[in-house]
Amino acid sequence: MNIVDVDYDGLIPNNVGLGSDERVKRALEKWHPGYIDWWNDMGPDGFQSSLVYLRTAVSVDPKGWAKFDYVKMPDYRWGILLAPQLEGRKIAFGAHKGEAAWQEIPGEYRAMLRRLIVIQGDTEPASVEQQRYLGKTAPSLYDMRNLFQVNVEEGRHLWAMVYLLQKYFGTDGREEAEALLQRRSGDPDTPRMLGAFNEKTPDWLSFFMFTYFTDRDGKMQLEALAQSGFDPLSRTCRFMLTEEAHHMFVGETGVTRIVQRTCEAMKEAGISDPYDITKVRKLGVIDLPTIQKKANLHFSLTLDLFGNEISTNAANAFHAGLKGRFREERLQDDHQLEGGTYPVLRLKDGKIEKEDSPALSALNMRLRDDYVVDCNLGVSRWNKVIEQTGIQFQIKLPHVAFHRHIGEFSRTTADVDGNVLSPAEWTERRTDFLPSAQDKDYIESLMQPQWEAGKFAGWIAPPKVGIDNKPGEFEYVKIA
């Protein structure tokens, strides 16, 4: 099957021939009402009858895959879209390297694969839940629309994973698909599976940091799963990555626009010291040190998503050919990693040191390293904006040992430069590194809705270009 166009005739848009797959079609149609209930209960609060200028995928052709139109979110056509099957695709790594990619799941890998799919699937609805109330304080209709676009696409990503569960995992898959609708972000009894997806996203700076840092973890995981020897998983992840790019765009440009507005306001007011927080806040913009603290928070929470630096699960998934490395095809080695080492940061006698570890066990560390490199690209673009205004300040990612709850550094208390502090010292200096209650209150005080078309809240600059090349005064959301 090599379908590029999406079939929009049935209840569930798809390019997987659902029309001739009665069993899976029925299973998904049965799951559909529960999904809509979940969306209505946990999706954007208060905007379900508003018309939103959204993009919907009409094809999986990278050129021209989406169309834009006004849609009420509950009517969004969530569908199942796989990137086209590549003729003769081979498994690129692990013990099965060189074999034809699997169209069905090898029995011995079923449990491992199901776990990978469920973990990925669980993050998708979680972020929608975390962002549920942000529409109410949107700094513009443009930003509100971007939030909702991210939300409906995370909903679609849930569909993507649920399709795999329903099609390939029988009864277990059905149960997992149900459970994905039952867990709730931050719920003490039925939380989402991963820590960062149970945190709050209370304000728009958090939202932009989340889409910059945490959606980028999503990108890394999807890149690794796009390598999978299980071809349907690879294809679904490849298409998800097309959508994911927009989420990170929203995050990166969101932070850029905040930084830009802050620097411009400081210049206009003749303030050159970024640490003169009282003065800067009087201008109604977010001071740069607080932006840094938010970055510290979201970066460190996201690093935890990569799991333990040394991991048997990661080694097994790679060895089995289920989850590869970031851009596996560009790496110059045997793609099996039976020998060879990778440098891993370890905590040794209270000190942070590099240690060569077996490469196969160090795959989480490696993906995390690739992630940090990717994160730094956008950070340097933020710094360019600051530099252009002549203000002396640089945003810097904290050390990977800072504020960790999983892995090697969960056992220590390091500062943002990686110096190990005593727990008491760390607690005392906590608000030097992470947002304080006052910082949170101040940001919250700025979160006043600006819903007039073409207008922006005072703490964020307008974007350079509109979505779908729309002019500045375009009404991205018709609030009803």
**Which residues contribute to the site for Fe ion (CB under 5 A)?**
124, 154, 157, 215, 218, 244, 247
Task: State which residue, 218 or 274, has the beta carbon closest to Fe ion.
Answer: 218
Dist. CA 42–CA 78, nearest whole Å: 16
Task: State which residue, 79 or 435, has the beta carbon closest to Fe ion.
Answer: 79
CB of 426 to Fe ion, least distance (A): 32
CB of 281 to Fe ion, least distance (A): 31
CB of 248 to Fe ion, least distance (A): 8
Task: State which residue, 215 or 328, has the beta carbon closest to Fe ion.
Answer: 215
Task: State which residue, 199 or 215, has the beta carbon closest to Fe ion.
Answer: 215
Q: CB of 289 within 8 A of CB of 275?
A: yes
CB of 216 to Fe ion, least distance (A): 9
CB of 245 to Fe ion, least distance (A): 9
Rounded to a whole number of angstroms, the CA Rg of the chain reads: 23
Task: State which residue, 157 or 368, has the beta carbon closest to Fe ion.
Answer: 157
CB of 374 to Fe ion, least distance (A): 14
Task: State which residue, 124 or 176, has the beta carbon closest to Fe ion.
Answer: 124
CB of 226 to Fe ion, least distance (A): 13
Task: State which residue, 147 or 363, has the beta carbon closest to Fe ion.
Answer: 147
